[in-house]
Amino acid sequence: MNKVNRFLLHAVVLLALIASAFAVKVGDPAPGFTSVDSNGKQQSLSNYKGKFVVLEWHNQGCPYTKKHYESGNMQRLQKEWTAKGVVWLTVISSAPGTQGFVTPTQENDYLKTMNASPTAVLMDPGGSLGHLYGAKTTPHMFIIDPNGTLIYNGAIDDHSSSDQSDIPNSKNYVSAALTQAMAGKPVTEAATRPYGCSVKYKD
Protein backbone atom coordinates (compact mmCIF):
# COMPACT_ATOMS: atom_id res chain seq x y z
CA MET A 1 0.00 0.00 0.00
CA ASN A 2 1.52 3.33 -0.94
CA LYS A 3 1.67 6.28 1.40
CA VAL A 4 -1.19 8.24 -0.12
CA ASN A 5 -3.52 5.27 0.02
CA ARG A 6 -2.57 4.54 3.59
CA PHE A 7 -3.17 8.15 4.50
CA LEU A 8 -6.59 8.11 2.82
CA LEU A 9 -7.54 4.90 4.59
CA HIS A 10 -6.59 6.39 7.94
CA ALA A 11 -8.50 9.55 7.13
CA VAL A 12 -11.62 7.57 6.23
CA VAL A 13 -11.42 5.42 9.35
CA LEU A 14 -10.88 8.50 11.49
CA LEU A 15 -13.84 10.28 9.92
CA ALA A 16 -16.02 7.21 10.48
CA LEU A 17 -14.98 7.15 14.14
CA ILE A 18 -15.66 10.85 14.54
CA ALA A 19 -19.06 10.49 12.90
CA SER A 20 -20.15 7.65 15.14
CA ALA A 21 -18.61 9.08 18.28
CA PHE A 22 -20.59 12.27 18.04
CA ALA A 23 -24.11 10.88 17.89
CA VAL A 24 -26.08 12.24 20.79
CA LYS A 25 -28.07 10.43 23.43
CA VAL A 26 -31.09 11.68 25.31
CA GLY A 27 -29.96 12.83 28.76
CA ASP A 28 -26.53 13.93 27.51
CA PRO A 29 -25.50 17.56 27.02
CA ALA A 30 -26.46 18.67 23.50
CA PRO A 31 -23.27 19.40 21.53
CA GLY A 32 -22.70 23.08 20.88
CA PHE A 33 -22.56 24.48 17.36
CA THR A 34 -22.35 27.68 15.38
CA SER A 35 -23.93 27.69 11.96
CA VAL A 36 -24.90 30.28 9.35
CA ASP A 37 -28.62 30.78 8.74
CA SER A 38 -30.46 31.59 5.50
CA ASN A 39 -30.11 35.32 6.26
CA GLY A 40 -26.32 35.04 6.63
CA LYS A 41 -26.52 35.39 10.40
CA GLN A 42 -24.45 33.25 12.79
CA GLN A 43 -26.59 31.06 15.01
CA SER A 44 -25.01 29.49 18.10
CA LEU A 45 -26.69 27.05 20.42
CA SER A 46 -25.04 28.83 23.37
CA ASN A 47 -27.03 31.98 22.55
CA TYR A 48 -30.22 30.12 23.40
CA LYS A 49 -29.27 28.90 26.86
CA GLY A 50 -32.31 29.17 29.08
CA LYS A 51 -34.71 28.32 26.26
CA PHE A 52 -36.09 25.17 24.74
CA VAL A 53 -34.59 24.57 21.29
CA VAL A 54 -36.12 22.37 18.60
CA LEU A 55 -33.97 21.11 15.70
CA GLU A 56 -35.88 20.00 12.61
CA TRP A 57 -33.95 18.28 9.78
CA HIS A 58 -35.45 19.38 6.49
CA ASN A 59 -35.45 18.55 2.76
CA GLN A 60 -38.18 20.30 0.81
CA GLY A 61 -38.22 17.61 -1.94
CA CYS A 62 -38.67 14.66 0.41
CA PRO A 63 -42.21 13.18 0.42
CA TYR A 64 -42.15 12.87 4.23
CA THR A 65 -41.18 16.51 4.66
CA LYS A 66 -43.83 17.47 2.11
CA LYS A 67 -46.42 15.57 4.14
CA HIS A 68 -45.84 17.90 7.08
CA TYR A 69 -45.45 21.13 5.08
CA GLU A 70 -48.14 20.73 2.43
CA SER A 71 -50.63 19.87 5.18
CA GLY A 72 -49.50 22.90 7.20
CA ASN A 73 -48.69 20.64 10.14
CA MET A 74 -45.08 21.76 10.55
CA GLN A 75 -45.99 25.43 10.20
CA ARG A 76 -48.68 25.02 12.90
CA LEU A 77 -46.11 23.47 15.23
CA GLN A 78 -43.58 26.23 14.52
CA LYS A 79 -46.20 28.92 15.25
CA GLU A 80 -47.55 27.26 18.34
CA TRP A 81 -44.20 26.57 20.00
CA THR A 82 -42.28 29.71 19.02
CA ALA A 83 -45.23 31.68 20.45
CA LYS A 84 -44.50 29.88 23.74
CA GLY A 85 -40.85 30.97 23.63
CA VAL A 86 -39.35 27.89 21.98
CA VAL A 87 -36.48 28.44 19.53
CA TRP A 88 -37.15 26.47 16.34
CA LEU A 89 -34.14 25.81 14.12
CA THR A 90 -34.74 24.10 10.78
CA VAL A 91 -31.56 22.45 9.45
CA ILE A 92 -30.77 21.64 5.82
CA SER A 93 -27.90 19.15 5.46
CA SER A 94 -28.47 18.23 1.78
CA ALA A 95 -25.14 18.44 -0.07
CA PRO A 96 -24.92 20.52 -3.26
CA GLY A 97 -26.37 18.56 -6.17
CA THR A 98 -28.61 16.42 -3.95
CA GLN A 99 -32.31 16.59 -3.23
CA GLY A 100 -33.23 19.40 -0.85
CA PHE A 101 -30.10 21.50 -1.41
CA VAL A 102 -31.13 25.16 -1.73
CA THR A 103 -29.42 28.53 -1.75
CA PRO A 104 -30.29 30.93 1.09
CA THR A 105 -32.49 32.96 -1.30
CA GLN A 106 -34.34 29.85 -2.47
CA GLU A 107 -34.90 28.84 1.15
CA ASN A 108 -36.23 32.26 2.12
CA ASP A 109 -38.60 32.16 -0.88
CA TYR A 110 -39.74 28.71 0.22
CA LEU A 111 -40.43 29.90 3.77
CA LYS A 112 -42.54 32.74 2.38
CA THR A 113 -44.47 30.49 -0.02
CA MET A 114 -45.10 27.86 2.65
CA ASN A 115 -45.89 30.45 5.30
CA ALA A 116 -43.34 28.75 7.53
CA SER A 117 -41.94 30.52 10.58
CA PRO A 118 -38.99 28.76 12.18
CA THR A 119 -36.75 31.00 14.28
CA ALA A 120 -34.01 30.40 11.68
CA VAL A 121 -32.96 27.95 8.98
CA LEU A 122 -29.41 26.66 9.35
CA MET A 123 -27.57 26.00 6.08
CA ASP A 124 -25.45 22.86 6.54
CA PRO A 125 -24.46 21.73 3.02
CA GLY A 126 -21.24 20.19 4.36
CA GLY A 127 -23.28 18.06 6.75
CA SER A 128 -21.19 18.83 9.85
CA LEU A 129 -24.17 19.76 12.03
CA GLY A 130 -26.07 16.72 10.75
CA HIS A 131 -23.17 14.44 11.63
CA LEU A 132 -22.72 16.13 15.01
CA TYR A 133 -26.27 15.20 15.99
CA GLY A 134 -26.44 11.96 13.99
CA ALA A 135 -29.43 13.21 12.00
CA LYS A 136 -30.68 10.32 9.89
CA THR A 137 -33.91 11.32 8.22
CA THR A 138 -36.03 14.21 7.06
CA PRO A 139 -37.78 15.02 9.22
CA HIS A 140 -35.66 14.08 12.27
CA MET A 141 -36.47 16.06 15.42
CA PHE A 142 -34.35 16.93 18.46
CA ILE A 143 -35.32 18.92 21.54
CA ILE A 144 -32.83 20.59 23.88
CA ASP A 145 -33.99 21.86 27.27
CA PRO A 146 -33.05 25.24 28.86
CA ASN A 147 -30.07 23.58 30.63
CA GLY A 148 -28.66 22.39 27.32
CA THR A 149 -29.60 18.73 27.81
CA LEU A 150 -31.00 16.70 24.93
CA ILE A 151 -34.51 15.61 25.97
CA TYR A 152 -35.90 14.23 22.71
CA ASN A 153 -34.38 12.48 19.68
CA GLY A 154 -36.59 10.90 17.05
CA ALA A 155 -39.62 11.05 14.81
CA ILE A 156 -42.06 13.89 14.50
CA ASP A 157 -45.02 11.60 15.19
CA ASP A 158 -46.07 7.98 15.49
CA HIS A 159 -47.29 7.44 11.89
CA SER A 160 -44.31 6.54 9.76
CA SER A 161 -45.92 7.34 6.42
CA SER A 162 -45.92 10.00 3.72
CA ASP A 163 -49.75 10.31 3.78
CA GLN A 164 -51.14 13.63 4.96
CA SER A 165 -54.38 11.87 5.91
CA ASP A 166 -52.52 10.11 8.75
CA ILE A 167 -51.73 13.37 10.56
CA PRO A 168 -55.07 13.85 12.39
CA ASN A 169 -54.71 10.34 13.89
CA SER A 170 -51.08 10.75 14.86
CA LYS A 171 -49.51 11.41 18.21
CA ASN A 172 -47.06 14.29 17.77
CA TYR A 173 -43.98 13.37 19.80
CA VAL A 174 -42.51 16.88 19.67
CA SER A 175 -45.61 18.53 21.12
CA ALA A 176 -45.95 15.79 23.71
CA ALA A 177 -42.32 16.16 24.81
CA LEU A 178 -42.44 19.97 24.96
CA THR A 179 -45.72 19.90 26.90
CA GLN A 180 -44.31 17.50 29.47
CA ALA A 181 -40.93 19.23 29.77
CA MET A 182 -42.51 22.69 30.17
CA ALA A 183 -44.68 21.31 32.95
CA GLY A 184 -41.51 20.11 34.67
CA LYS A 185 -42.31 16.46 33.99
CA PRO A 186 -40.00 13.85 32.48
CA VAL A 187 -40.54 13.12 28.80
CA THR A 188 -42.15 9.68 28.57
CA GLU A 189 -41.29 9.01 24.93
CA ALA A 190 -37.83 10.55 24.65
CA ALA A 191 -36.30 8.42 21.88
CA THR A 192 -38.23 7.07 18.92
CA ARG A 193 -37.26 5.82 15.49
CA PRO A 194 -37.14 8.83 13.18
CA TYR A 195 -38.84 8.15 9.85
CA GLY A 196 -38.52 9.64 6.39
CA CYS A 197 -35.98 10.06 3.60
CA SER A 198 -32.31 9.64 4.41
CA VAL A 199 -30.46 12.90 4.95
CA LYS A 200 -28.68 13.59 1.66
CA TYR A 201 -25.15 13.96 3.02
CA LYS A 202 -22.11 14.59 0.91
CA ASP A 203 -20.67 11.13 0.07
Partner 1 sequence: MRQIFVSLTLAAFSCAYAQQPSTAHARVELLSQQSSITPENNLLLGIHFVLEPGWHIYWTNPGDSGQPPSLKWQLPAGFSAEEIQWPHPERMQKNAELADYGYHDEVLLPVTIHVPASARNGSSAPLVADAKWLVCREVCIPEHERLQITLPVAARSKENPATARLFLNAKKNLPKSLPQNWRASATSSKDDFVLKIIAGKRITKAEFFPLEPNQIDNPAPQKLAASATGATITLKKSDQLLKPITSLRGLLLLPDGTSYKIEAPVRKPIQ
The least distance separating partner 1 from the CB of residue 110, rounded to whole angstroms, comes to 17
Tell me which residue of 92, 26, 68 sits closest to 159, measured CA to CA.
68
1-16 b/e with 16+ CB inside 10 Å = b? eeeeeeeeeeeeeeee
Pick from 89, 142, 154, 181 the residue near partner 1 by CB under 8 A.
154
Q: Using CB under 8 A, which residues numbered 5 to 24 contact partner 1?
A: 15-16, 19-20, 23-24
Cβ-based nearer residue to partner 1, 18 or 106: 18
CA distance 120 to 112: 13
Between residues 54 and 78, which has the closer beta carbon with respect to partner 1? 54
Cβ of residue 88: shortest distance to partner 1, in angstroms?
22
Decide if residue 159 touches partner 1 (CB under 8 A). Answer: no
Binding mask 106-145 vs partner 1 (x if CB under 8 A, - otherwise)?
------------------------xx--xxxx--------
With contacts defined by CB under 8 A, how many residues of the chain interact with partner 1?
Answer: 39
Question: Which of 37, 82, 160, 181 lies at the binding interface for partner 1 (CB under 8 A)?
Answer: 160
What size, in residues, is the chain?
A: 203
Q: What's the CA gap between 113 and 135, in Å, rounded?
A: 26
Q: Which residues contact 84 (CB under 8 A, 6 or more apart)?
A: 178, 182
Per-position x/- string for 49-88, each x denoting binding to partner 1 as judged by CB under 8 A, each - no binding: ------------xxxx------------------------
The residue type of 43 is: Q
The 170-199 contact track toward partner 1, x by CB under 8 A, reads --------------------xxxx-xxxxx
Is the CB of residue 58 less than 8 Å from the CB of residue 121? yes
What is the DSSP code (8-state) at residue 185? P
CA dihedral (30, 190, 145, 168) in degrees, to 10, reads 120
Query: 10 Å Cβ neighbour count for 149?
Result: 14
- Which positions touch partner 1 (CB under 8 A)? 15-16, 19-20, 23-27, 61-64, 98-99, 130-131, 134-137, 153-154, 160-163, 190-193, 195-201, 203
